[in-house]
Amino acid sequence: MAQELVFHGRIIKAGSAEGKALVSPTPISFLGGVDPDSGVIIEPGHPLEGTSAAGRILVFPTGKGSTVGSYTIYRMAKNGTAPAGIICAQSETIVAVGAIIAGIPMVDRIPIEQIATGDWVRIQDGTVYVRKSSAEPEKG
Amino acid sequence: MPRDNDLHLTDEEQAMLAGEAGPAVRKAMEIVTALAKIYGARHLVPVESAQVAGVSYKNLGDAGLQFLQEWADEGARVRVPAFLNPAGMDLQRWRELGIPEEFARFQMAVIAAFTRMGIAPSLTCTPYYVGLRPALGSHVAWSESSAVSFANSVLGARTNREGGPSALAAAIAGRTGAYGLHLDENRRATHIIEVRASVRSTADIGALGALAGELVRDGVPYFRGLDLRWTRRPEEALKALGAAMAASGAVGLYHVEGITPEAGLSDILPAGIPRFTIHDLSAGYQKLNGPLEEVDLVSLGCPHASLEELDEIARFLAGKQVRTRLWITTARQVREEAERAGIVAQIEAAGGQVVADTCVIVAPMELLSVRSLATNSAKAALYARSHSGLETRFGTTEQCLEAALTGRWR
Protein backbone atom coordinates (compact mmCIF):
# COMPACT_ATOMS: atom_id res chain seq x y z
CA MET A 1 0.00 0.00 0.00
CA ALA A 2 1.37 3.37 -0.96
CA GLN A 3 1.56 5.68 2.01
CA GLU A 4 0.54 9.34 1.54
CA LEU A 5 2.01 12.16 3.61
CA VAL A 6 0.58 15.69 3.71
CA PHE A 7 2.63 18.73 4.69
CA HIS A 8 1.57 22.35 5.02
CA GLY A 9 4.27 24.86 4.19
CA ARG A 10 4.61 28.44 3.13
CA ILE A 11 3.73 29.55 -0.39
CA ILE A 12 6.63 31.18 -2.22
CA LYS A 13 5.06 30.89 -5.70
CA ALA A 14 1.41 29.82 -5.74
CA GLY A 15 0.24 27.14 -8.15
CA SER A 16 0.00 23.40 -8.60
CA ALA A 17 2.50 20.92 -9.95
CA GLU A 18 3.21 17.23 -9.68
CA GLY A 19 5.95 14.82 -10.56
CA LYS A 20 8.62 12.48 -9.25
CA ALA A 21 10.72 13.91 -6.48
CA LEU A 22 14.42 14.56 -6.98
CA VAL A 23 15.91 15.18 -3.55
CA SER A 24 19.22 16.87 -2.86
CA PRO A 25 20.57 16.67 0.69
CA THR A 26 22.76 19.73 0.02
CA PRO A 27 22.06 23.28 -1.27
CA ILE A 28 21.92 23.95 -5.01
CA SER A 29 23.56 26.81 -6.89
CA PHE A 30 21.81 27.50 -10.17
CA LEU A 31 24.39 29.83 -11.71
CA GLY A 32 27.16 27.48 -12.79
CA GLY A 33 25.72 24.55 -10.85
CA VAL A 34 22.95 23.62 -13.30
CA ASP A 35 23.10 23.48 -17.11
CA PRO A 36 20.09 25.52 -18.27
CA ASP A 37 20.04 23.83 -21.70
CA SER A 38 19.63 20.29 -20.35
CA GLY A 39 18.42 20.84 -16.77
CA VAL A 40 21.28 18.62 -15.55
CA ILE A 41 23.03 19.41 -12.27
CA ILE A 42 26.69 19.87 -13.16
CA GLU A 43 28.30 21.15 -9.97
CA PRO A 44 31.38 18.93 -9.51
CA GLY A 45 31.01 16.72 -6.47
CA HIS A 46 27.33 17.59 -5.92
CA PRO A 47 25.27 14.55 -4.78
CA LEU A 48 22.99 15.02 -7.82
CA GLU A 49 25.80 15.68 -10.32
CA GLY A 50 24.75 14.29 -13.71
CA THR A 51 21.02 14.09 -12.84
CA SER A 52 18.41 16.10 -14.74
CA ALA A 53 15.94 18.20 -12.75
CA ALA A 54 13.69 18.75 -15.80
CA GLY A 55 10.06 17.98 -15.02
CA ARG A 56 10.87 16.80 -11.49
CA ILE A 57 9.73 18.14 -8.15
CA LEU A 58 13.12 19.40 -7.01
CA VAL A 59 13.55 19.14 -3.25
CA PHE A 60 16.56 20.72 -1.49
CA PRO A 61 17.41 22.51 1.76
CA THR A 62 18.06 25.99 0.34
CA GLY A 63 19.74 27.88 -2.51
CA LYS A 64 23.26 29.26 -2.62
CA GLY A 65 25.56 31.13 -4.99
CA SER A 66 25.17 34.15 -7.25
CA THR A 67 21.98 36.18 -7.54
CA VAL A 68 22.20 35.77 -11.32
CA GLY A 69 20.99 32.23 -10.57
CA SER A 70 17.42 33.57 -10.60
CA TYR A 71 17.79 34.15 -14.34
CA THR A 72 19.19 30.64 -14.82
CA ILE A 73 15.94 29.24 -13.43
CA TYR A 74 13.98 31.54 -15.77
CA ARG A 75 16.06 30.33 -18.72
CA MET A 76 15.43 26.69 -17.77
CA ALA A 77 11.68 27.39 -17.88
CA LYS A 78 12.02 28.96 -21.34
CA ASN A 79 14.06 25.95 -22.51
CA GLY A 80 11.60 23.43 -21.06
CA THR A 81 14.28 22.05 -18.73
CA ALA A 82 13.01 23.50 -15.44
CA PRO A 83 11.75 21.47 -12.53
CA ALA A 84 7.93 21.21 -12.42
CA GLY A 85 7.93 22.39 -8.81
CA ILE A 86 10.36 23.37 -6.06
CA ILE A 87 10.28 22.44 -2.38
CA CYS A 88 12.80 23.83 0.10
CA ALA A 89 13.31 23.55 3.82
CA GLN A 90 14.09 27.27 3.96
CA SER A 91 13.85 29.51 0.92
CA GLU A 92 16.30 32.32 0.16
CA THR A 93 16.18 35.18 -2.34
CA ILE A 94 17.82 33.62 -5.40
CA VAL A 95 15.63 30.56 -5.83
CA ALA A 96 12.47 32.37 -4.64
CA VAL A 97 12.87 35.14 -7.24
CA GLY A 98 13.80 32.55 -9.86
CA ALA A 99 10.70 30.45 -9.19
CA ILE A 100 8.45 33.50 -9.32
CA ILE A 101 9.80 34.92 -12.57
CA ALA A 102 9.88 31.45 -14.13
CA GLY A 103 6.33 30.64 -12.94
CA ILE A 104 7.37 27.48 -11.05
CA PRO A 105 5.18 26.58 -8.05
CA MET A 106 7.33 26.70 -4.92
CA VAL A 107 6.76 26.04 -1.25
CA ASP A 108 9.12 26.07 1.73
CA ARG A 109 9.14 25.12 5.44
CA ILE A 110 8.55 21.49 4.52
CA PRO A 111 10.29 18.63 6.41
CA ILE A 112 12.23 17.60 3.31
CA GLU A 113 13.97 14.70 5.07
CA GLN A 114 10.63 12.85 4.83
CA ILE A 115 10.68 13.00 1.01
CA ALA A 116 12.86 10.61 -0.99
CA THR A 117 13.94 10.64 -4.61
CA GLY A 118 11.35 8.71 -6.62
CA ASP A 119 8.37 9.60 -4.38
CA TRP A 120 5.39 11.02 -6.29
CA VAL A 121 4.83 14.59 -5.09
CA ARG A 122 1.99 17.01 -5.72
CA ILE A 123 2.17 20.68 -4.77
CA GLN A 124 -1.09 22.60 -4.38
CA ASP A 125 -0.18 26.15 -3.30
CA GLY A 126 1.13 25.73 0.27
CA THR A 127 0.24 22.03 0.61
CA VAL A 128 2.47 19.14 -0.40
CA TYR A 129 1.15 15.60 -0.91
CA VAL A 130 3.79 12.85 -0.98
CA ARG A 131 3.05 9.31 -2.17
CA LYS A 132 5.97 7.22 -0.96
CA SER A 133 7.61 5.08 -3.57
CA SER A 134 7.54 1.40 -2.56
CA ALA A 135 10.67 0.78 -4.57
CA GLU A 136 14.16 1.47 -3.27
CA PRO A 137 15.05 5.13 -3.69
CA GLU A 138 16.75 5.88 -6.98
CA LYS A 139 20.38 6.69 -6.80
CA GLY A 140 20.55 10.44 -7.13
CA MET B 1 -3.16 25.85 7.40
CA PRO B 2 -0.59 27.63 5.27
CA ARG B 3 1.49 29.83 7.55
CA ASP B 4 1.19 33.02 5.54
CA ASN B 5 -0.59 34.91 8.29
CA ASP B 6 2.55 36.52 9.68
CA LEU B 7 2.66 39.01 6.81
CA HIS B 8 -0.22 41.47 6.88
CA LEU B 9 -1.20 43.08 3.58
CA THR B 10 -3.57 46.01 3.13
CA ASP B 11 -6.65 45.58 0.94
CA GLU B 12 -4.91 47.42 -1.87
CA GLU B 13 -1.85 45.17 -1.58
CA GLN B 14 -4.04 42.06 -1.57
CA ALA B 15 -5.71 43.27 -4.76
CA MET B 16 -2.36 43.96 -6.42
CA LEU B 17 -1.18 40.45 -5.48
CA ALA B 18 -4.40 38.99 -6.86
CA GLY B 19 -3.67 40.56 -10.23
CA GLU B 20 -6.26 43.35 -10.18
CA ALA B 21 -3.62 45.83 -11.34
CA GLY B 22 -2.44 43.54 -14.13
CA PRO B 23 0.07 40.70 -14.51
CA ALA B 24 3.17 42.90 -14.23
CA VAL B 25 2.15 44.29 -10.85
CA ARG B 26 1.12 40.82 -9.69
CA LYS B 27 4.58 39.50 -10.49
CA ALA B 28 6.21 42.42 -8.66
CA MET B 29 4.00 41.84 -5.63
CA GLU B 30 4.76 38.11 -5.71
CA ILE B 31 8.48 38.90 -5.48
CA VAL B 32 8.04 41.58 -2.81
CA THR B 33 5.76 39.44 -0.62
CA ALA B 34 7.84 36.27 -1.05
CA LEU B 35 10.95 38.08 0.18
CA ALA B 36 8.96 39.77 2.94
CA LYS B 37 7.82 36.34 4.16
CA ILE B 38 11.27 34.78 3.86
CA TYR B 39 12.81 37.54 5.97
CA GLY B 40 9.98 37.69 8.50
CA ALA B 41 8.38 41.06 7.65
CA ARG B 42 5.02 41.73 9.31
CA HIS B 43 3.98 44.32 6.72
CA LEU B 44 5.22 46.22 3.67
CA VAL B 45 6.54 49.80 3.58
CA PRO B 46 6.20 52.28 0.71
CA VAL B 47 9.55 53.10 -0.90
CA GLU B 48 10.46 56.56 -2.17
CA SER B 49 12.95 55.46 -4.81
CA ALA B 50 14.69 52.44 -6.28
CA GLN B 51 18.19 51.92 -7.63
CA VAL B 52 18.25 48.91 -9.91
CA ALA B 53 21.37 46.81 -10.51
CA GLY B 54 21.64 43.98 -13.03
CA VAL B 55 21.92 46.26 -16.07
CA SER B 56 25.07 45.06 -17.79
CA TYR B 57 24.42 42.53 -20.54
CA LYS B 58 27.61 40.83 -19.30
CA ASN B 59 25.77 39.78 -16.14
CA LEU B 60 22.20 39.52 -17.41
CA GLY B 61 22.83 37.38 -20.46
CA ASP B 62 20.07 36.45 -22.88
CA ALA B 63 17.83 35.09 -20.11
CA GLY B 64 17.93 38.34 -18.15
CA LEU B 65 17.28 40.40 -21.26
CA GLN B 66 14.35 38.19 -22.26
CA PHE B 67 12.91 38.42 -18.76
CA LEU B 68 13.08 42.24 -18.75
CA GLN B 69 11.49 42.47 -22.19
CA GLU B 70 8.71 40.13 -21.16
CA TRP B 71 8.00 42.11 -17.98
CA ALA B 72 7.92 45.37 -19.96
CA ASP B 73 5.57 43.72 -22.49
CA GLU B 74 3.26 42.73 -19.65
CA GLY B 75 2.99 46.41 -18.78
CA ALA B 76 5.54 46.78 -15.98
CA ARG B 77 5.92 50.47 -15.05
CA VAL B 78 7.69 51.90 -12.02
CA ARG B 79 5.58 53.76 -9.44
CA VAL B 80 8.46 55.62 -7.81
CA PRO B 81 11.57 57.32 -9.19
CA ALA B 82 13.93 54.55 -10.23
CA PHE B 83 17.54 54.81 -11.36
CA LEU B 84 19.72 52.30 -13.19
CA ASN B 85 23.11 51.01 -12.13
CA PRO B 86 25.99 51.15 -14.65
CA ALA B 87 25.67 49.22 -17.91
CA GLY B 88 28.35 47.20 -19.69
CA MET B 89 29.51 50.13 -21.82
CA ASP B 90 29.51 53.87 -22.41
CA LEU B 91 26.30 54.26 -24.41
CA GLN B 92 27.78 56.96 -26.65
CA ARG B 93 31.45 56.00 -26.97
CA TRP B 94 31.40 52.20 -26.87
CA ARG B 95 33.17 51.82 -30.23
CA GLU B 96 36.11 53.91 -29.03
CA LEU B 97 36.42 51.67 -25.98
CA GLY B 98 36.56 48.53 -28.14
CA ILE B 99 33.18 47.07 -27.19
CA PRO B 100 32.05 44.51 -29.83
CA GLU B 101 29.05 45.45 -31.99
CA GLU B 102 26.99 42.45 -30.88
CA PHE B 103 27.47 43.20 -27.18
CA ALA B 104 26.44 46.80 -27.82
CA ARG B 105 23.26 45.72 -29.60
CA PHE B 106 22.16 43.49 -26.71
CA GLN B 107 23.14 46.14 -24.16
CA MET B 108 20.98 48.73 -25.93
CA ALA B 109 18.06 46.26 -25.90
CA VAL B 110 18.44 45.95 -22.11
CA ILE B 111 18.35 49.74 -21.70
CA ALA B 112 15.31 49.96 -23.98
CA ALA B 113 13.40 47.43 -21.85
CA PHE B 114 14.16 49.38 -18.68
CA THR B 115 13.27 52.68 -20.33
CA ARG B 116 9.89 51.28 -21.34
CA MET B 117 9.28 50.61 -17.65
CA GLY B 118 9.87 54.30 -16.92
CA ILE B 119 13.29 53.95 -15.32
CA ALA B 120 15.82 56.75 -15.75
CA PRO B 121 18.92 55.51 -17.61
CA SER B 122 21.17 57.33 -15.15
CA LEU B 123 23.51 54.30 -15.28
CA THR B 124 25.43 55.06 -12.12
CA CYS B 125 26.31 53.54 -8.78
CA THR B 126 26.34 57.08 -7.33
CA PRO B 127 22.75 58.29 -7.81
CA TYR B 128 23.49 60.72 -4.97
CA TYR B 129 25.66 62.71 -7.44
CA VAL B 130 22.78 63.08 -9.90
CA GLY B 131 20.06 64.37 -7.65
CA LEU B 132 18.88 61.34 -5.69
CA ARG B 133 19.62 61.91 -2.01
CA PRO B 134 16.94 60.27 0.11
CA ALA B 135 16.28 61.93 3.46
CA LEU B 136 17.21 60.61 6.89
CA GLY B 137 14.82 57.82 7.83
CA SER B 138 13.20 57.43 4.41
CA HIS B 139 12.63 53.94 3.00
CA VAL B 140 14.15 53.09 -0.39
CA ALA B 141 15.03 49.94 -2.37
CA TRP B 142 18.55 50.20 -3.72
CA SER B 143 20.67 47.36 -4.98
CA GLU B 144 24.23 48.27 -5.95
CA SER B 145 26.22 47.40 -2.85
CA SER B 146 28.21 50.65 -2.45
CA ALA B 147 25.09 52.75 -3.14
CA VAL B 148 23.20 50.75 -0.51
CA SER B 149 25.96 51.39 2.00
CA PHE B 150 26.06 55.12 1.18
CA ALA B 151 22.28 55.51 1.41
CA ASN B 152 22.11 53.73 4.78
CA SER B 153 25.28 54.98 6.42
CA VAL B 154 25.97 58.47 5.06
CA LEU B 155 22.42 59.63 4.31
CA GLY B 156 20.62 57.64 7.01
CA ALA B 157 18.02 56.36 4.55
CA ARG B 158 16.87 52.77 4.92
CA THR B 159 17.39 50.01 2.39
CA ASN B 160 18.29 46.36 2.37
CA ARG B 161 20.91 45.03 -0.02
CA GLU B 162 18.37 44.36 -2.76
CA GLY B 163 19.07 42.17 -5.75
CA GLY B 164 18.42 43.54 -9.25
CA PRO B 165 15.02 41.86 -9.71
CA SER B 166 13.89 42.64 -6.15
CA ALA B 167 14.72 46.36 -6.43
CA LEU B 168 12.87 46.43 -9.74
CA ALA B 169 9.92 44.62 -8.16
CA ALA B 170 9.88 47.16 -5.32
CA ALA B 171 9.84 50.01 -7.86
CA ILE B 172 6.93 48.45 -9.76
CA ALA B 173 5.00 47.59 -6.59
CA GLY B 174 6.05 50.84 -4.89
CA ARG B 175 6.77 48.85 -1.72
CA THR B 176 9.14 46.48 -0.03
CA GLY B 177 8.98 44.25 3.03
CA ALA B 178 9.59 45.88 6.43
CA TYR B 179 12.55 43.73 7.48
CA GLY B 180 16.30 43.94 7.89
CA LEU B 181 17.74 47.45 7.71
CA HIS B 182 14.28 49.04 7.45
CA LEU B 183 13.84 48.31 11.18
CA ASP B 184 15.49 50.26 14.04
CA GLU B 185 16.64 47.14 15.88
CA ASN B 186 18.71 45.94 12.91
CA ARG B 187 20.48 49.29 12.48
CA ARG B 188 22.36 49.02 15.77
CA ALA B 189 26.05 48.22 15.69
CA THR B 190 27.13 44.59 15.88
CA HIS B 191 30.89 45.25 16.14
CA ILE B 192 33.16 48.07 17.30
CA ILE B 193 36.19 48.77 15.12
CA GLU B 194 38.83 50.82 16.94
CA VAL B 195 41.02 52.50 14.35
CA ARG B 196 44.57 52.99 15.64
CA ALA B 197 46.17 52.92 12.20
CA SER B 198 47.01 56.16 10.45
CA VAL B 199 44.39 56.86 7.78
CA ARG B 200 45.42 59.70 5.46
CA SER B 201 44.11 58.89 1.97
CA THR B 202 41.20 57.33 0.14
CA ALA B 203 43.44 54.32 -0.47
CA ASP B 204 44.02 53.98 3.30
CA ILE B 205 40.27 54.10 3.77
CA GLY B 206 39.85 51.36 1.15
CA ALA B 207 42.47 49.15 2.84
CA LEU B 208 40.71 49.73 6.17
CA GLY B 209 37.37 48.79 4.61
CA ALA B 210 38.83 45.65 3.04
CA LEU B 211 39.97 44.52 6.50
CA ALA B 212 36.81 45.57 8.35
CA GLY B 213 34.48 43.89 5.84
CA GLU B 214 36.28 40.61 6.36
CA LEU B 215 36.01 40.95 10.14
CA VAL B 216 32.32 41.81 10.37
CA ARG B 217 30.99 40.04 7.22
CA ASP B 218 27.30 41.09 7.09
CA GLY B 219 27.37 42.91 10.43
CA VAL B 220 27.01 46.62 11.23
CA PRO B 221 30.41 48.02 12.24
CA TYR B 222 30.80 51.10 14.43
CA PHE B 223 34.09 52.90 13.80
CA ARG B 224 35.79 54.71 16.64
CA GLY B 225 38.91 56.81 16.21
CA LEU B 226 38.44 57.31 12.47
CA ASP B 227 39.50 60.88 11.78
CA LEU B 228 38.54 62.39 8.43
CA ARG B 229 40.02 65.85 8.93
CA TRP B 230 42.74 65.07 6.36
CA THR B 231 40.22 65.49 3.56
CA ARG B 232 38.04 68.40 2.50
CA ARG B 233 35.57 65.90 1.03
CA PRO B 234 34.73 63.40 3.77
CA GLU B 235 31.79 62.03 1.76
CA GLU B 236 34.22 60.62 -0.80
CA ALA B 237 36.16 58.85 1.94
CA LEU B 238 32.93 57.39 3.29
CA LYS B 239 31.92 56.32 -0.23
CA ALA B 240 35.21 54.39 -0.52
CA LEU B 241 34.88 52.87 2.96
CA GLY B 242 31.38 51.56 2.27
CA ALA B 243 32.30 50.23 -1.17
CA ALA B 244 35.29 48.32 0.24
CA MET B 245 33.28 46.73 3.06
CA ALA B 246 30.45 45.77 0.73
CA ALA B 247 32.95 43.96 -1.49
CA SER B 248 35.17 42.27 1.12
CA GLY B 249 32.16 41.50 3.32
CA ALA B 250 28.45 42.10 2.89
CA VAL B 251 28.16 45.29 4.93
CA GLY B 252 25.07 47.36 4.09
CA LEU B 253 25.32 49.83 6.99
CA TYR B 254 28.12 51.22 9.14
CA HIS B 255 28.48 54.04 11.64
CA VAL B 256 31.42 56.38 12.22
CA GLU B 257 31.59 58.05 15.61
CA GLY B 258 31.11 61.79 15.36
CA ILE B 259 30.48 61.68 11.61
CA THR B 260 27.59 59.56 10.28
CA PRO B 261 24.03 60.59 11.16
CA GLU B 262 22.95 57.63 13.28
CA ALA B 263 26.25 57.14 15.16
CA GLY B 264 25.11 59.38 18.00
CA LEU B 265 21.79 57.65 18.72
CA SER B 266 21.61 56.59 22.35
CA ASP B 267 20.95 52.90 21.69
CA ILE B 268 23.19 52.47 18.65
CA LEU B 269 25.88 50.56 20.63
CA PRO B 270 24.44 47.52 22.41
CA ALA B 271 26.45 46.34 25.41
CA GLY B 272 28.86 43.47 24.96
CA ILE B 273 29.32 43.51 21.18
CA PRO B 274 32.68 42.26 19.86
CA ARG B 275 35.46 44.80 19.48
CA PHE B 276 38.37 44.72 17.04
CA THR B 277 41.36 47.05 16.95
CA ILE B 278 43.10 47.78 13.65
CA HIS B 279 46.68 48.92 14.29
CA ASP B 280 47.97 49.00 10.75
CA LEU B 281 46.67 48.66 7.23
CA SER B 282 49.43 46.61 5.60
CA ALA B 283 47.35 43.42 5.61
CA GLY B 284 44.63 45.32 3.75
CA TYR B 285 47.08 46.62 1.14
CA GLN B 286 48.47 43.09 0.73
CA LYS B 287 45.02 41.69 0.03
CA LEU B 288 44.50 44.17 -2.81
CA ASN B 289 47.93 44.13 -4.44
CA GLY B 290 49.47 41.53 -6.72
CA PRO B 291 53.14 41.36 -7.78
CA LEU B 292 52.24 43.11 -11.03
CA GLU B 293 54.69 45.69 -12.45
CA GLU B 294 53.45 46.55 -15.93
CA VAL B 295 50.00 48.07 -16.02
CA ASP B 296 47.57 47.92 -19.01
CA LEU B 297 44.79 49.99 -17.58
CA VAL B 298 44.57 52.52 -14.79
CA SER B 299 41.02 52.71 -13.48
CA LEU B 300 39.72 55.49 -11.27
CA GLY B 301 36.09 56.19 -10.42
CA CYS B 302 34.85 53.13 -8.52
CA PRO B 303 32.35 54.03 -7.18
CA HIS B 304 31.74 56.64 -9.90
CA ALA B 305 33.86 59.77 -9.58
CA SER B 306 32.48 63.07 -8.34
CA LEU B 307 33.04 66.31 -10.24
CA GLU B 308 35.67 67.29 -7.63
CA GLU B 309 37.58 64.03 -8.12
CA LEU B 310 37.58 64.56 -11.89
CA ASP B 311 38.88 68.08 -11.36
CA GLU B 312 41.68 66.84 -9.11
CA ILE B 313 42.72 64.24 -11.71
CA ALA B 314 42.65 66.86 -14.51
CA ARG B 315 44.92 69.17 -12.48
CA PHE B 316 47.39 66.35 -11.83
CA LEU B 317 47.53 65.50 -15.54
CA ALA B 318 47.98 69.07 -16.80
CA GLY B 319 50.83 69.16 -19.31
CA LYS B 320 51.50 65.42 -18.98
CA GLN B 321 50.85 62.42 -21.26
CA VAL B 322 49.75 58.96 -20.16
CA ARG B 323 51.29 55.77 -21.57
CA THR B 324 48.69 53.25 -20.39
CA ARG B 325 44.99 53.31 -20.93
CA LEU B 326 43.40 55.52 -18.28
CA TRP B 327 39.69 55.23 -17.54
CA ILE B 328 37.92 57.50 -15.12
CA THR B 329 34.39 56.18 -14.79
CA THR B 330 31.52 58.45 -13.80
CA ALA B 331 27.83 59.15 -14.26
CA ARG B 332 26.77 60.61 -17.63
CA GLN B 333 25.39 63.70 -15.91
CA VAL B 334 28.64 64.30 -13.99
CA ARG B 335 30.62 63.84 -17.22
CA GLU B 336 28.47 66.50 -18.86
CA GLU B 337 29.11 68.90 -15.97
CA ALA B 338 32.84 68.15 -16.26
CA GLU B 339 32.67 68.76 -19.99
CA ARG B 340 31.15 72.21 -19.46
CA ALA B 341 33.84 72.98 -16.89
CA GLY B 342 36.60 72.03 -19.37
CA ILE B 343 37.73 69.15 -17.16
CA VAL B 344 37.06 66.42 -19.73
CA ALA B 345 39.11 68.25 -22.34
CA GLN B 346 42.05 68.52 -19.92
CA ILE B 347 41.97 64.79 -19.15
CA GLU B 348 41.61 63.87 -22.82
CA ALA B 349 44.50 66.13 -23.75
CA ALA B 350 46.67 64.00 -21.47
CA GLY B 351 45.41 60.84 -23.17
CA GLY B 352 42.92 59.76 -20.49
CA GLN B 353 39.27 58.83 -21.06
CA VAL B 354 36.31 59.98 -19.00
CA VAL B 355 34.02 57.00 -19.42
CA ALA B 356 30.32 57.34 -18.59
CA ASP B 357 27.52 54.84 -17.95
CA THR B 358 29.78 51.91 -17.04
CA CYS B 359 32.69 50.75 -14.89
CA VAL B 360 35.46 48.15 -14.92
CA ILE B 361 33.39 45.72 -12.85
CA VAL B 362 30.37 45.47 -15.15
CA ALA B 363 32.04 46.16 -18.53
CA PRO B 364 33.19 43.05 -20.44
CA MET B 365 36.90 43.64 -19.68
CA GLU B 366 37.70 40.15 -20.99
CA LEU B 367 36.72 41.41 -24.47
CA LEU B 368 38.97 44.48 -24.24
CA SER B 369 42.32 42.65 -23.92
CA VAL B 370 43.05 44.11 -20.51
CA ARG B 371 45.09 41.81 -18.29
CA SER B 372 46.27 44.05 -15.51
CA LEU B 373 44.73 46.96 -13.75
CA ALA B 374 45.84 49.61 -11.27
CA THR B 375 43.17 51.31 -9.20
CA ASN B 376 42.59 53.49 -6.15
CA SER B 377 39.45 51.49 -5.34
CA ALA B 378 39.53 48.52 -2.97
CA LYS B 379 36.25 47.35 -4.45
CA ALA B 380 37.56 47.42 -8.02
CA ALA B 381 40.74 45.61 -6.96
CA LEU B 382 38.74 42.84 -5.25
CA TYR B 383 36.23 42.38 -8.07
CA ALA B 384 38.66 42.74 -10.98
CA ARG B 385 40.33 39.61 -9.64
CA SER B 386 37.27 37.56 -8.83
CA HIS B 387 34.96 38.64 -11.70
CA SER B 388 37.38 39.30 -14.53
CA GLY B 389 40.52 37.41 -13.57
CA LEU B 390 42.73 40.51 -13.79
CA GLU B 391 45.98 41.18 -11.97
CA THR B 392 45.67 44.27 -9.78
CA ARG B 393 47.64 47.03 -8.13
CA PHE B 394 46.01 49.20 -5.52
CA GLY B 395 47.17 52.54 -4.13
CA THR B 396 46.51 56.25 -3.90
CA THR B 397 45.10 58.30 -6.77
CA GLU B 398 48.57 59.85 -7.23
CA GLN B 399 50.27 56.43 -7.40
CA CYS B 400 47.73 55.29 -9.98
CA LEU B 401 48.22 58.39 -12.11
CA GLU B 402 52.01 57.99 -11.88
CA ALA B 403 51.56 54.42 -13.14
CA ALA B 404 49.48 55.76 -16.02
CA LEU B 405 52.31 58.13 -16.97
CA THR B 406 55.09 55.54 -16.80
CA GLY B 407 53.25 52.28 -17.50
CA ARG B 408 54.88 50.79 -14.41
CA TRP B 409 53.81 50.45 -10.80
CA ARG B 410 56.16 51.90 -8.21
Mean pLDDT of B373-392: 90
**B116 and B197 in one domain?**
no
Residue type, A33: G
Closest C-alpha among B159, B83, B154 to residue B122: B83
Total domains present in chain A: 1
Beta strands A57-60 and A85-88, pairing class = parallel
Does residue A82 belong to any structural domain of this protein? yes
CB B174 within 8 A of CB B255: no
**B370 and B241 in one domain?**
no
CA distance A67 to chain B (A): 7
Query: B202-216 and B234-248 helices cross at what angle (nearest 10)?
Result: 40
CA distance B179 to chain A (A): 14
- Whether B258 has a pLDDT exceeding 60, the answer reads yes
**B171 and B208 in one domain?**
no
pLDDT of residue B1: 41
> Which among A10, A70, A100 is the nearest to B3, CB-wise?
A10
User: Residues 150 to 169 of B: which have CB under 8 A from any A CB?
Assistant: 163-166
Task: Verify whether the Cβ–Cβ distance A96 to B67 is below 8 Å.
Answer: no
Instruction: Name the closest residue on chain B to residue A75, using Cα atoms.
Output: B63
pLDDT of residue A136: 56
Q: How far apart are CA B310 and CA B307, in angstroms?
A: 5
Does residue A96 belong to any structural domain of this protein? yes
Does residue A59 belong to any structural domain of this protein? yes
Domain that holds residue A99: 4-131
pLDDT of residue B3: 47
Does residue A139 belong to any structural domain of this protein? no
**B114 and B15 in one domain?**
yes
Mean pLDDT of B132-142: 98
Q: How far apart are CA B310 and CA B337, in angstroms?
A: 10
pLDDT by residue (tens digit) across A43-100? 989 999 999 999 999 999 999 877 778 989 999 999 999 999 999 999 989 999 999 9
pTM attached to this predicted model? 0.93
CB B87 within 8 A of CB B58: no
pLDDT by residue (tens digit) across B239-257? 999 999 999 999 999 999 9
**B162 and B30 in one domain?**
yes
Confidence band for A2, pLDDT divided at 50, 70 and 90: low
Is A66 noted as a catalytic residue in this protein?
yes
Task: Verify whether the Cβ–Cβ distance B35 to A71 is below 8 Å.
Answer: no
- Whether B207 has a pLDDT exceeding 50, the answer reads yes
**B325 and B296 in one domain?**
yes
Q: Is residue B287 within a helix (H) or strand (E), and if so which, with residue range?
A: helix B282-288
Does residue A83 belong to any structural domain of this protein? yes
Confidence band for A31, pLDDT divided at 50, 70 and 90: confident
- Whether A134 has a pLDDT exceeding 80, the answer reads no
CATH code: domain of residue B20:
3.30.499.10
pLDDT by residue (tens digit) across B141-185? 999 999 999 999 999 999 999 989 999 999 999 999 999 999 999
**B34 and B151 in one domain?**
yes
Average pLDDT, chain B: 96
pLDDT of residue B2: 43
Total domains present in chain B: 3
**B168 and B245 in one domain?**
no
Of the three residues B147, B181, B215, the one that is the final residue of a domain is B181
pLDDT by residue (tens digit) across B279-334? 999 999 999 998 888 999 999 999 999 999 999 999 999 999 999 999 999 999 99
Domain that holds residue B253: 188-286
B34 vs A contacts (CB less than 8 Å): 12-13, 91, 96-97, 100
Half-sphere exposure of B159 (CA within 13 A, CB side): 34
Residue B82 pairs in a beta bridge with B50
Confidence band for B12, pLDDT divided at 50, 70 and 90: very high
**B343 and B254 in one domain?**
no
**B12 and B134 in one domain?**
yes
CB B207 within 8 A of CB B378: yes
Average pLDDT, chain A: 92
CATH code: domain of residue A69:
3.50.30.10
Of the three residues B286, B321, B341, the one that is the final residue of a domain is B286
pLDDT by residue (tens digit) across B338-363? 999 999 999 999 999 999 999 999 99
Chain A interface includes B30 (CB < 8 A): yes
Half-sphere exposure of B247 (CA within 13 A, CB side): 30
pLDDT of residue A137: 55
CA distance A135 to chain B (A): 31
Residues whose CB falls within 8 Å of the CB of residue B48, separated by 6 or more in sequence, listed in order: B80, B81, B134, B138, B139, B140
Residue type, B274: P
- Whether A139 has a pLDDT exceeding 70, the answer reads no
